[in-house]
Amino acid sequence: MAQTDAICPFLPAFLKDVNEKLVLNLGITRGEIENALHQKLQSCGDKKKQATQLNVVSKCAALYMEQVEYVFHKNFAKLERYTRRNIVHFPKELQDDIEHLCKATDSNAIPPIEKKRSQFERDKNEQTLKHEIALLHQKLSVLKAKKLAIESETHKIKSNVTMMQEFESKAAQIAELRKSADANLLSERVESLHRCIHDLHRLRGHLEKDMKPSASQNDRKRARYEELRRNFLKNKGQSNAMDIKELNKKL
């Protein structure tokens, strides 16, 4: 028993409280049974007989409740022996509740000055806790504001990174377009050069074609001139002024 009381110091007070409540409830139940039996009795018109009936009801109820109380106490004794013999640990929640009830019961024996002092300490601790909670709420609101600012900056940075990626992709596309444009321009220039060369060849062909009749005509003129010159030299002695003028006209 001493070991159990050492492990569970609240057990004796707990069992005593259960016993007292059991006795109280048995008394209440006995009174209720007597009242119920009295209500079921019918008036017979004879006061002596009526008193005898009431006395019998009271004695029967008393005997019945004595038997019930005996059984309850017997079973409670078994419960107490079982508890002290076998239970070595109570749940933490039950232990806390019982200790709280014990403290509440013991507080009735505390002097008023001690009660006021303990109440003052509790109020002081409560005010301190409230102040600390208010400070924590302020810090929490500041942290929330910083979190929102960081999230906003993060969103801006992400949008800037996205814009930079888009710019890089656009720059790559522009470089590809520039390369293709340079290639197209080069091909256009090459094509224009080919056209110019083709036009030059065609113009040269036309010029050569146009120069062939003039060259043959010049050759004919040169041959005619040589022929006239030979005739002139041959007939120089026989020529006169009129012949020379006519020769100049022909030339």
Question: Do 213 and 176 have their domain in common?
Answer: no
One-letter amino acid for residue 213 of the chain? P
Determine the distance from the C-alpha atom of residue 198 to the mean position of all C-alpha atoms in its chain, rounded to a whole number. 71
pLDDT band at 188 (very low <50, low <70, confident <90, very high): confident
Question: Do 7 and 83 have their domain in common?
Answer: yes
* Higher-pLDDT residue of 7, 135: 135
Tell me, yes or no, whether 23 lies in a domain: yes
* Higher-pLDDT residue of 111, 127: 127
Question: Do 20 and 83 have their domain in common?
Answer: yes
Rounded average pLDDT over 116-137: 83
Question: Do 70 and 18 have their domain in common?
Answer: yes
Q: What pLDDT score does 5 carry?
A: 46
Question: Do 16 and 4 have their domain in common?
Answer: yes
Q: What pLDDT score does 3 carry?
A: 42
Q: Please, which residues have CB within 8 angstroms of residue 99's CB and are 6 or more apart in sequence?
A: 10
Rounded average pLDDT over 103-121: 68
- pLDDT > 50? residue 4: no
Question: Do 165 and 194 have their domain in common?
Answer: no
Question: Do 83 and 167 have their domain in common?
Answer: no
Question: Do 26 and 73 have their domain in common?
Answer: yes
Q: What is the pLDDT of residues 136-184, one digit of tens each?
A: 889 988 998 899 989 888 888 888 888 888 877 777 777 777 777 777 7
Question: Do 58 and 140 have their domain in common?
Answer: no
Taken in order 177, 181, 184, 186, is the CA torsion positive or negative? negative
Tell me, yes or no, whether 244 lies in a domain: no
Tell me the C-alpha to C-alpha distance, in Å, between residue 222 and each of 15, 16, 229, 244: 160, 162, 10, 18
Domain count, the chain: 3
Residue-number span of the structural domain to which 14 is assigned: 1-89
